[in-house]
Amino acid sequence: MKVVVTGATGFVGRYTVRRLLDSGYEVISITTNKSITDDVKEFINGSDVVTVNSLEEIPEEIIGGNSIIHCAWSNVQNTVDVSHYLHASEQVKFISKIALFNPLKVIITGTCYEFGLRMGPVSVSDKSEPNSPYAKAKDFVRYASEGILKHDAQIDFIWARLFYMYGNGQHEKSIYSQLMKTIEGNQEVFNMSKGQQLYDYMNIEKVAEKLASLVSIDAPPIVHICNGYPISLRSLIEDILLKNNSSIKLNLGYYPYRIQDSISLWGNESFDSQVHNCVTK
């Protein structure tokens, strides 16, 4: 068995490929990125890299009998862009194709944004309430995938909802990357919101560890990759500053909260407790 990772040069994909390789798996990295930076090459070095123009070009022999971790998605940083609706259609076409070729297991990354403006803890059994193009598109793909993979083709399918991630290599517009740029530039002040958001933050390396583990363990059809508890954005930022021995001052309230985002959202249970409960039943 090999593990196929789509979106292998993306933020989540590259860390997942590295984790799989370090765990001894043979990995096929699928990417539509024809220009791969040296930093990304270090992550996926050791895997078989296949570059395609679109996901539908992935050949049958790569899919059949292997496990797939499907991370590929475009323009994730801009959740209100209507292009996500078109991308959802492309995703469903890809999933319909792989269902024909009998993969061993299909793991697709979802997002906690599927819960929209819900506040507080959310469970895997809670109803989704998407309120942005990105969230609605992801939610549509989840329902379509359940019908195509789980019911029609009887393929082992897991929807892995990712919560709030941070780490090196994140999109340049993310608050983590902006903070690190400020630290590295020895600037005195970092502009941010009031930082009162309560989210289930997890470092990308731990996210990749959890995601990669789904290849070899029994898990429920929907899994939340999360800690099961919230911390405030301000606390996260202050912790990062402390670890980097930085004396940067926080200019709190410089930016308003994003109206499309919940002010507090976290998983009701940790990833480990979800998987443990499933295996021991």
Looking at the structure, tell me whether residues 120 and 185 fall in a common domain: no
Looking at the structure, tell me whether residues 29 and 98 fall in a common domain: yes
Transcribe 104-116 into DSSP letters: SEEEEEEEGGGGT
The identity of residue 237, as a single letter, is I
Looking at the structure, tell me whether residues 8 and 136 fall in a common domain: yes
Reading the chain (281 residues) residue by residue, the pLDDT tens digits are 799 999 999 999 999 999 999 999 999 999 998 889 999 999 999 999 999 999 888 988 999 999 999 999 999 999 999 999 999 999 999 999 999 999 999 999 999 999 999 999 999 999 999 999 999 999 999 999 999 998 877 899 999 999 999 999 999 999 999 999 999 999 999 999 999 999 999 999 999 999 999 999 989 999 999 999 999 999 999 999 999 999 999 999 999 999 999 999 999 999 988 887 765 43
Looking at the structure, tell me whether residues 213 and 128 fall in a common domain: yes
Handedness of CA 157, 161, 167, 169 (dihedral sign): positive
Looking at the structure, tell me whether residues 113 and 195 fall in a common domain: no
Contact 28, 50 (CB under 8 A): yes
Looking at the structure, tell me whether residues 224 and 234 fall in a common domain: no
Two tokens at 112? 């906690």
Domain span at residue 245 reads 171-199+230-261
Looking at the structure, tell me whether residues 179 and 115 fall in a common domain: no
What tens digit of pLDDT does each residue of 61-95 get? 999 999 999 999 999 999 999 999 999 999 999 99
pLDDT of residue 278: 67
Handedness of CA 65, 271, 167, 175 (dihedral sign): positive
Distance, in Å, from the CA atom of 177 to the CA atom of 238, rounded to the nearest integer, reads 14
**How many C-beta neighbours within 10 Å does residue 94 have?**
19
pLDDT of residue 279: 53
How many domains, the chain? 2
Looking at the structure, tell me whether residues 39 and 79 fall in a common domain: yes
Torsion of CA 73, 79, 84, 87, to 10 degrees: 0
**How many C-beta neighbours within 10 Å does residue 167 have?**
19
Looking at the structure, tell me whether residues 39 and 150 fall in a common domain: yes
Looking at the structure, tell me whether residues 139 and 46 fall in a common domain: yes
Looking at the structure, tell me whether residues 221 and 143 fall in a common domain: yes
pLDDT of residue 281: 39
Distance, in Å, from the CA atom of 90 to the CA atom of 142, rounded to the nearest integer, reads 13
Q: What is the CATH number of the domain that holds 116?
A: 3.40.50.720
Looking at the structure, tell me whether residues 152 and 272 fall in a common domain: yes
The identity of residue 134, as a single letter, is Y
